Amino acid sequence: MHDFTLDIQQHINKPLEEDRQGEVLNAAQTIENANGKHFYIESYGCQMNFNDSEIVASILHKNGFALTRDCNNADLILLNTCSIREKAEDRIRNRLRTLNKIKAQRPGTLIGILGCMAERLKKKLLEQEQIVDIVVGPDAYRDLPSLVSEADTGQKAVNVLLSREETYGDINPVRLDNTGVTAFVSIMRGCDNMCSFCVVPFTRGRERSRNAFSIIAEVQDLLAKGYKEVTLLGQNVDSYKWENPENKQIVNFANLLEMVALTSTQLRVRFSTSHPKDITDEVLHTMNKYENICNYIHLPVQSGSSRILKKMNRTYDREWYKERVDAIRRIIPNCAISTDVITGFCSETDEDHQDTLSMQRYVKYEMAYMFAYSERPGTLAARKYEDDVPLAVKKQRLQEVIAQQQIHSLERNQADVGKTFKVLIEKESKRSADDLCGRTDQNKMVIFPRGNHQKGEYVQVLIESCTSASMKGRVV
């Protein structure tokens, strides 16, 4: 691995570029506005969408809009959407029906659809959903202020052009979370993996990596504002690759991880999402080298069947995936692994389904996101394969996957009872103001008595009990 220490020292204390937009703000702070107008934004779907909403907030803030937490007080209401499943789009359509009442009560209020659903449906959204005034794709957020001006004249405004260069690397996001402890940092955009079931390459465009030093500058800015943890985001972080124009050196994901880890030993570093075909031993050794890089990897398997993986165009098979899991266990023995599983993909047989269940038993994931296959228009699978697994069978297989995962999650958590873990306090427990909660290095949520502690602190917590979803303990 190239030693980037010198490069980091040359850039580590550089101020953010003068043209970086916005500023990092906690929810408790007020965003001043110059034009007297307020915007409200809701985010749906993946972490990337939430980070995109923070970019949008920065762009609007610079153009004189103030953030409001109440959609009833907004002049501009934005929904940042997801298209990964049909259910996600149905949620947006249901939400629009509610917002239609607000628009009826406040004439002149503008409604905008952002993100993947905007990119997938484009002008159809304006035709199908009459109350929508603005449609903006993931690469066109810089154009949002002019689109709002256009919509103010009564015209429908659309920009869904995809870009091969846009990374928003010069924009410092306005942090919309209410903890001030953890933050997302986008390191790349788009995806070149043409998985046959997935709309992302069509809604987010081709893969491009962000300038490594702009990432370090953003991380440094977060540190200065008191943040204790960053999650590096990308559709496939392991394929991050940026060439330094000054010396033509290539920065890969392992190099970037090291650069971020070296900014501060007190900063926790996470990342999402990894692809089984791209995660390297170099990345694993870098994780093992730095204590502040969390021992947690989200490694989507999607299916345990090599035949189905080939139809999904995942470009790895069952044995390759198992070898990558073995490498993780060997290099980072205490690393937690989570995954994604799709049941009922085109032509999936019961034998294929049993392969998925056996893969679960092989890995024993700490956690999983599990879904029945939902055909998405425009994907390779929709064009090439028949969605021939009955819905009832999809759901039954999904329930079997969920039931087995609950067993494994409980087993993994039970193995931690009686052990002590370093926990970063993130927030107050939802169930009781007397309790706080935070995550371990392995991304497990722990609930414990508040005592004299507060969010942003690191504490050592002895685990005393658990469920499949969380753990309880006390500070020692």
Would the pLDDT of 27 be above 70? Answer: no
pLDDT digits (tens, 9 = 90+) for 292-302: 999 999 999 99
pLDDT tier at 5 (50, 70, 90 boundaries)? very low
pLDDT of residue 3: 43
48-57, 66-75, 336-345: which is most confident: 336-345
Average pLDDT over residues 131-139: 95
pLDDT digits (tens, 9 = 90+) for 61-88: 999 999 999 999 999 999 999 988 888 8
pLDDT of residue 6: 35
pLDDT tier at 177 (50, 70, 90 boundaries)? confident
pLDDT of residue 18: 28
pLDDT digits (tens, 9 = 90+) for 429-448: 999 999 999 999 999 999 99
Specify the CATH class of 5-159 in words.
alpha beta
pLDDT of residue 127: 86
pLDDT of residue 33: 55
pLDDT digits (tens, 9 = 90+) for 265-288: 999 999 999 999 999 999 999 999
228 Cβ partners below 8 Å, 6+ apart? Answer: 181, 182, 266, 267, 268, 424, 456, 458
pLDDT of residue 7: 42
pLDDT tier at 32 (50, 70, 90 boundaries)? low
- For 467, other C-beta atoms within 10 Å of its C-beta total 12
Mean pLDDT taken over the chain: 91
pLDDT digits (tens, 9 = 90+) for 97-107: 999 999 999 98
Query: Would you list the domain boundaries of the chain?
Result: 5-159, 420-475
Q: What is the CATH number of domain 420-475?
A: 2.40.50.140
- Equal CATH topology for 5-159 and 420-475: no
Closest CA to 283 of 310, 260, 300, 314: 260
- Residue predicted with more confidence, 39 or 87: 39
